[in-house]
Structure 1
């Protein structure tokens, strides 16, 4: 009887021990699960923040839109390459025009704030015989792109507003958008604004402002501005002080010394030559003709000086 009682007691002890071990194991398991859950939750939260970061999402949309714009632009350039050798409504151009239109529309859907997509889509509606083209839609897109700050759209809209129409104060509106494009140093807008200041059309005539505009456009490789700038220099126009100060501050002292030796600031012929070289580099035949004319005048002057021994002014011969 005593032995039976002893075995029962031992069994009870073993049972209690197993229960204690089981409860400790369960508690440890729950602790480990909590820690794993907390770590996984933190990782998921970090991943979710990265995935739904608004700046990252905006960059992704903009990148997709630019890829679509590049595809549409390539199709449109192919149209420009062959459009001079066929009819405007040639059926062979329709697939390219339709592809360009679809890509620009998809780019605008991907990123509604993209001004380049608006500008190119407006140009497609206004200039090309694309299926479904609408002048009113093109004009609305062009105005939206210009108001959103696209410099190409501002220049295009300024040029279109300068055409005679029935709208009131169209010249003032054109001048407003041209100035906006000039603020962003658009070369075409700089050249056109320089012509406006040179002729005094709808603004007060200002040769210094015209020279400044031509100079900045010429720096960006605009051939027409370089020709206009060089021609004004040959006619004796004085370079504005702001341009001489600006050029004197650029580059190192050694470069400035070398530049002053090669192209003296007081020699308008050398300065005009530099502008005509810019135009020739841009592919303008008129720049080459001006350079040839200046070389011929210099040759005639050198021959005349060697014969008569009397120096003459280059400006007088030109």
Structure 2
């Protein structure tokens, strides 16, 4: 009897110690980020184009912000929306840069749970804000082409400020529950992520808990943000096209369409890879991991890189050339 009691106590003590070890292990758990599988020996060389992409993104968007801020003639709705997009692109680049360059420059793959949850919150929030800004830019083009006489009275500066604030509050309110939902899960499966940054649909797959609520919420968020915004952008361009085709002058028709081309390019650059990546994560179980990784890079790195190039209007381009041309023509020490 004494022996049985002793064995029971020893067994209980062992279970308690193992439970404590498991809890400690869970609290200090980390995720492992993924670069390009099989190319670990050339990560340093791969870092060169990534560094160039980040430099071009940050410098390009910063130049646009500087020119718009310092030139009073550019304080118009179209350029204010462009500056909003530039700020969002800067924030999105900064959100992914530490982990991306950390992998390729320093071979640092580990990221703590809290850091991962924080990064995915900021990435998804800025994606939501960028989607909202692209919708505002479509609204701007819609008013300018379909109702030009009321353009100045509808898009006033105070109203534009409120629109920008709503975009930010919308992104924060919708994406804030994501990290808290993920914190409720236990991660006892493989801790290797599919990308060099954290996103919700990738992290929740590593949980060994029931993720149905998180999955439903994530899908609902996608449909109510990027899905709804892209639908409204499509409808606005249907109305724009209907108005443009009713113009009798071919020159005026082409001029009106030309004002929309750059915005359409930005919309396609943003939504196409994002929708493709979301579909692959949810339903593309047999898809190659390389395609998933490439789409991940394209969805978050290409829009901030290309938007300063495709969205620069002729007026803004002239201002940039004039500013840098004047600076270059000044003698040293002047």
TM-score range, shorter chain: under 0.3
Greater relative contact order (Cα < 8 A, sep 6+)? 2
Q: Computing the radius of gyration over CA atoms, which structure comes out larger, 1 or 2?
A: 1
Return the TM-score normalized by structure 2.
0.25
